[in-house]
Amino acid sequence: MHPYRMREVIKERGKDRIANVAQRNSVYQTIDRLLRAELIAVRETARDERRPERTVYEITEAGRETLRTWTAEMLTSPAREFPEFPAALATAMVLTPDEVATGLAKRAAALKTSLAADRESLRAVPELPRLFLLDEEHSIAVRESGSRACSPRCGPAS
């Protein structure tokens, strides 16, 4: 695929939640890094008369092996991650108890809305094998646990 199409497919499949493709340039930068590392190669360069020249890339054997190794490591070895929400909880003491309670209530409402939308999108693709939805199921489970932490017990702290 050429980079523009890669970005579109990532967005169409909802994988832009796990791969940051908000900026078109980020895909091209990633392609450049993969090319330099010889994990992908140029398959062809084509030019449609009404469009700019497009380079189509394909994964190399080294790229396949690197992907397999990386995936196996990521599945088996928990990594230290630094999400924003725990950082916010760690510094919540700079807010008043009412500000914390209000913020958590707003977060819980937003999570409820996004979880409902995500569950609906999962139901919209029943023919897709579950293997391709595991990342979305994980995201839903993590956000569900976060929304339970902001359950009705979220009141002003004592």
With residue 58 as reference, give the H or E element that holds it. strand 54-59
Q: And the tokens for 83?
A: 């999400």
Mean pLDDT for the stretch of residues 8-17: 83
Residue 3 pLDDT more than 60? yes
Residue 152 pLDDT more than 60? no
Tens-digit pLDDT profile for residues 27-64: 889 999 999 999 999 999 887 778 778 888 999 999 99
- ∠ CA(8), CA(13), CA(14), 5° rounding? 100
From the number of C-beta atoms within 10 Å of its C-beta (0-12, 13-18, 19+), residue 25 rates as exposed
Residue 132 pLDDT more than 60? yes
pLDDT at 47: 78
Distance of CA 39 to the CA centre of its chain: 22
Band the pLDDT of 147: cuts 50, 70, 90. Answer: low
| 67 and 50 Cβ atoms separated by less than 8 Å | no
Tens-digit pLDDT profile for residues 72-109: 998 898 888 878 888 999 999 999 999 999 999 999 89
User: In whole angstroms, what is the distance from residue 10 CA to residue 19 CA?
Assistant: 8
| 123 and 140 Cβ atoms separated by less than 8 Å | no
Closest CA to 104 of 37, 157, 25: 157
Please count the other Cβ atoms lying within 10 Å of the Cβ belonging to residue 79: 6
DSSP 8-state code for residue 80:
P
- Domain parsing of the chain, residue ranges: 3-76, 84-149
66-75, 115-124, 146-155: which range is least confident on average? 146-155
Tens-digit pLDDT profile for residues 115-124: 998 888 777 7
Please count the other Cβ atoms lying within 10 Å of the Cβ belonging to residue 38: 12
Q: And the tokens for 30?
A: 């990633």
pLDDT at 157: 47
